[in-house]
Structures are given as C-alpha cells and as structure tokens.
Amino acid sequence: MYPTINELFQQSVTSYRDGVVLRMLIPKERKHGRGIHLILNEISYGRLGERVARLASALSELGVEKGDRVALISKPRAAWATAFFAILHCGATAVPLDPELQQAEIERILAEAGVKGVIVSGEKLAKLESTEQGFATDLFLISMDRPATEDTLFLDALLLNKKPLPSVDTGPDDLAILMYTSGTTGNAKGAMLTHANIASNALACRKVVDLSPRDNFLSIVPWHHIYGLTVTLLTPVISGATTTYTPVDRNLTQVMLKARPTMLLGVPKLYHVLYGKISNSISKSLIKKTINRLSPTLMGKLLTRKLFGKDFRFLVCGGAPLNNEVAKGLRRMGIGMLEGYGLTETSPVLAMCEQFPSEPGMMAIEGVELQIDHANKDGVGEIIARGPGIMSGYYNNPEATREVINEDGWFHTGDLGSLVSNNRILICGRAKNVIVLETGKNVYPEEVEWELSTIPAIEEIMIYEGERQGAPAVAAMIYPNWPTLNKLGISESVDALDHIWKEVKERSENLAMFKRIKNRDLVTLTDQPFEKSVKLDIKRYLYKKNTADS
C-alpha cells in the first residue's frame, strides 16, 4: 500500500523544516534598459507547511469538503504550491489548468469538472470575474495577487488569523488530481489520478534519480503538466530537495549561473537551445574546438562547471521525444542525460533510461509492467502498461475509460514500440492522434478540428502532425466547401487557400497559442473528400506517412 501525497508532504515538512523547498527566479527589467535582473524568492519546508494548513482552514470555511474539486490556474509560484497542497489537505481534488488556455476552453473544463472554486493568478483574474458562469453566486474565486476589487478573495489575506486545519482523513485510493488532457470540445477528458498513483510514481522516480536533500532541481516545466507536477515538484518535495523554478528560458545562461543546480529538468526544446548554444560557442573558439576534438569529456566538465557550478550532476528530459543527435552530442561530452517516457494517464513516468545507456531503449520503473500488444513481424506493436501509476479512469467518461483500460488493468498507451534486449522498451512512434510539440505541449487534433470545422469554406478537415524548421508542428489537410467558395466568386485553389487561411487565423483566436497552425505552408487543400470508416471517422492512417510506414 502506498502513502498519500498528504502523508509524504507532512513527513518532509517535519523532517526538513528549515530546508528550502522552493526557489522562484523572477525576471525584473533593469533600469534604463540594461537587461534582465533575476530576483530570488525562496520558502522553507516549515513555512510552506504552515501556509498550507492555514489555507486549508480557509478553504474549509468556504465549504470545501472531501471529494470536492478546486481548480488552479497559474504559472508555477509559491502560492500555486501552497494552494495545491492545501486542496489535498482538505481531502479535495486539485484541477490544474494551463493558464495559456483561452477563456472558452477554461470555462468548458470548469463546467465539466464541476469545481467548487477557483484559485487563480492575477493575470487571469479579470477574465474569470467577468465570465457568465457566475463566480459570485456559484463558485468562490481566490486571487493569488491582490485583487482590484473587494469582492474577490485574496489568498494571503485568507491566511491571517487562521488556525491550521488538521489534515482530513484521506486514503491512497482517493482522487488527488484531475488532470485534463483535452479542453476545447465537449468531450474533454479528465484523467483521474489518485494519491497512490502519484505517490507511487514520485517514489519510484526518487529511486531512479537517487535524490537527497543536497539536490537542487532547476526546472522550467510548468506544474499544470503532469511531468512538471510529479517530477519537478512532488519528487523533490518528498526527497527534502529544493526546486528552483523559472519562467525564463531566453536568459538560460544567466538563470543557470544564478540557480547553481545539481540537475536541470526540461523538455526537448530547452535542450535543443542549450546544445545549440554550446555548439555555437565551441565553433567560435579554436581552443575550444581543439579541446572538444581531443577530449570531449574535458570540454563537458569545463562547460558544466561554468554553466551550472561544481555540484552539477545531470540533465533530465521528458514531455516529448528528444532529438537523438542532441542526446548523443551531450553524452559524448560526458554530460549525462536521463530521458523518461510516460503519459498523463500514467502519472506520468513508465520508463527511464540511464544517463549513459549502453543499450537502446528504456527500463520500466519500479512496479510498472510493459508489454507489446499485437506486434507485427518486426516486433512493433502498441505499448501497453500496468502498474500503480495507471489512472483510475476518465472523469464521468466510462466509455472512454473502457477504450484504453482493459479488464486486466492494462492501459493502452496508443504509442508504438518494441521490446529489445534485456526487456527494454524502444519507442518507435505514436499510434494515437495526439501531436506532441517539442515544448512538451500536447495538441489533440479533434480539438482543433472541432473549432475550425465551423468555418463555412471548410467542408472537411484533418489536423495532423506536420513539420516546420525540423520540429513537430500543427498542420491541416482541408477539403474545401466549393459551393460556398463559388458563391464568393472563388473558383481557383490558390484563391481558396488564401481565403481559408485568413478564416483559420481568425477562428484560431479561440484556441491556445500552442494549438494554432502557425504558417500558411502547413495548410494543404485536397481534391477529394477524405476516406472514412463505417463510423464515418476519417481514416487518418491513409494520409499520414509516419503511420502508414509503421
């Protein structure tokens, strides 16, 4: 039996009371346009524990009870961590949402989840206050920043004169997090992750990484992403380590010098940028080029000492596939790169590789079983998983749950892979439609299709993973509505594409930035309607090379 997140958090608060749990690197513009100055704010385990218990008391007074759901909408900050652990302290369920989602997307999820209240940062506050959902009468709204009006509750003010609330009796199988994997359509799917799901994953990750209170994580991965929440917040917390979070990546070198981390955790885009900077620096110096040619590991030691400090251990990557050349290049210089694989529905980590793997593939983490379902002649099939981190299901969606979890508890990942030597899993590609950007963001084609299919000039649309400048991108194949276009005096494909692209850009304002088609070249018009299944679903595999080749 696994402990609850509440138990693990309280153990750390007691054991590491004076240690630093969070450091937030906040960028501030210097006067007279002299660049960025980083302000370091930190909070101890003891202080965070005190704030959590007091906010839990305030939430209880607002009517939050065991089993209720409370949404969190903000970028990572100390107030986010306070709110998250306070929600769980009450026996309630946290619903973390991406602050980059558009208002309509947020409203749909809040309605789907049936939240009792929302804890939100100041930048999102105004829009939520004006929503038609009626927060003033139905839901409480707590701002992490001082609100402009007296009608909205202020988080810090709620903590005043509050007696810490004793932790509500919570069990390992109780729901801890409702993590949404979709938001635009009416079929939003919330992965129900229990305390045992998350605790088992964090404990297993701690063993793989061999964490201790001496470690200092530097992360730019947001906590509304399950990779960020489990790996860059909860895993360090249960280890007595420090998490240093920064939203700044364009000033990466300055951030790393300030943080002096033992580990850097990020998504592939971060490491692509980092490796590009390293390669560029080496190419401009004859001395560095010579050192790198004769002794790449010495070059790596010099770089890591300069960038991170003497205590640096290794890099951790997750959220999306990493370019193999980047991983090879860094490891050649003796810079360890630990890669992980998983999904939101698996809490998230299923498998990880060593810093310097001697064999291809990844090993399942403790407690996880991995198998290949319906392997072809080459041994490639769908990766299925079973273990303590598998979600209990999709919220209020038993049909979708049955589609991915069978009667024996095996979760169908929708990813393609094979088992190689020593039972290691080799990920070969994705069978599902989801598009994983190099930032780690997931784009579900159905969401974008649902939004753009209402454009009169579009008869049918299929969103898929394209490529732009060597990176995954949201792309579209469109069968135009020619009768509608003809009425507008448009009869040529070039003119039709011009008109449709203009409409797509306007309609995409209802989508989060990362879900949008970024360039006209990513839109293709087809001459014929799409081939469909008996259920009238588009046969996507006929139009996607990577799936057809599989």
- Quick: pLDDT tens for 207-216: 999 999 999 9
Token pair, residue 359, equals: 């064999």
- Residue whose pair of structure tokens reads 């101890």 in the numeric block: 44
Which residues in the chain are classed under CATH 3.30.300.30?
444-549
pLDDT: which is higher, 381 or 148: 381
Q: Shortest CA distance to 175 belongs to which of 362, 394, 375, 330?
A: 394
Q: What is the distance between the alpha carbons of residues 97 and 91, in angstroms, rounded to a whole number? A: 19
Torsions phi, psi of 66, nearest 5?
A: -55, 130
Lowest mean pLDDT of 362-371, 468-477, 524-533, name the range: 524-533
CB 451 within 8 A of CB 511: yes
Q: What is the distance between the alpha carbons of residues 550 and 545, in angstroms, rounded to a whole number? A: 9
Q: How confident is the model at residue 2 (pLDDT cuts 50, 70, 90)?
A: very high
Lowest mean pLDDT of 122-126, 261-265, 465-469, name the range: 122-126
Is the confidence at residue 255, as pLDDT, over 50? yes
Q: How confident is the model at residue 1 (pLDDT cuts 50, 70, 90)?
A: confident
Lowest mean pLDDT of 95-109, 126-140, 266-280, 496-510, name the range: 126-140
Reported for 140-149, long-range contacts at CB under 8 A and 24+ positions apart, including other chains, are: 140/62, 140/63, 140/116, 141/117, 142/83, 142/117, 142/118, 144/74, 144/77, 144/79, 144/80, 144/83, 144/119, 144/120, 145/121, 146/122, 147/122
* Region 430-456 average pLDDT: 83
Q: How confident is the model at residue 193 (pLDDT cuts 50, 70, 90)?
A: very high
Which residues in the chain are classed under CATH 3.40.50.12780?
267-430
Fold of 5-19+45-200: Rossmann fold (3.40.50)
Per-residue model confidence as pLDDT tens digits over 269-296: 888 888 888 988 899 899 999 999 999 9
Q: What angle do CA 411, 415, 417 make, to 5 degrees?
A: 105
Give residue 31's pLDDT.
Answer: 66
Per-residue model confidence as pLDDT tens digits over 479-514: 999 999 999 999 999 999 999 999 999 999 889 899
Q: What is the distance between the alpha carbons of residues 305 and 300, in angstroms, rounded to a whole number? A: 8
* Region 467-484 average pLDDT: 93
* Region 316-333 average pLDDT: 89
Give residue 188's pLDDT.
Answer: 65
The answer to pTM > 0.85 is no
Q: What is the distance between the alpha carbons of residues 391 and 386, in angstroms, rounded to a whole number? A: 10
Q: What is the distance between the alpha carbons of residues 522 and 481, in angstroms, rounded to a whole number? A: 19
**DSSP code, position 228:** I
Lowest mean pLDDT of 156-170, 408-422, 430-444, name the range: 430-444
Is the confidence at residue 199, as pLDDT, over 80? yes
**Please, what is the angle between helix 5-15 and helix 195-209, to 10°?**
50
Q: How confident is the model at residue 184 (pLDDT cuts 50, 70, 90)?
A: very low
Is the confidence at residue 549, as pLDDT, over 50? no
Positive/negative CA dihedral, 253, 441, 193, 122 = positive
Percent of the chain at pLDDT above 70?
91
pLDDT: which is higher, 372 or 539: 372
Is the confidence at residue 104, as pLDDT, over 70? yes
Q: What is the distance between the alpha carbons of residues 278 and 280, in angstroms, rounded to a whole number? A: 5
Which residues in the chain are classed under CATH 3.40.50.980?
5-19+45-200
DSSP E strands, 343-449: 349-352, 363-364, 369-373, 381-386, 393-394, 411-420, 424-430, 435-436, 442-443
The one-letter amino acid code at 431 reads: A
Lowest mean pLDDT of 38-42, 78-82, 105-109, 478-482, name the range: 38-42
For domain 444-549, the CATH class is alpha beta
Give residue 540's pLDDT.
Answer: 77
Give residue 187's pLDDT.
Answer: 54
**Please, what is the angle between helix 45-61 and helix 5-15, to 10°?**
140
Q: What is the distance between the alpha carbons of residues 542 and 539, in angstroms, rounded to a whole number? A: 6
Superfamily of domain 267-430: ANL, N-terminal domain (3.40.50.12780)
Which strand ranges, in their side-by-side order, compose the sheet holding 424-430? 369-373, 381-386, 411-420, 424-430
Q: What's the N-to-C CA distance of the chain in angstroms?
A: 40
The average confidence (pLDDT) of the chain is 89
CB 18 within 8 A of CB 94: no
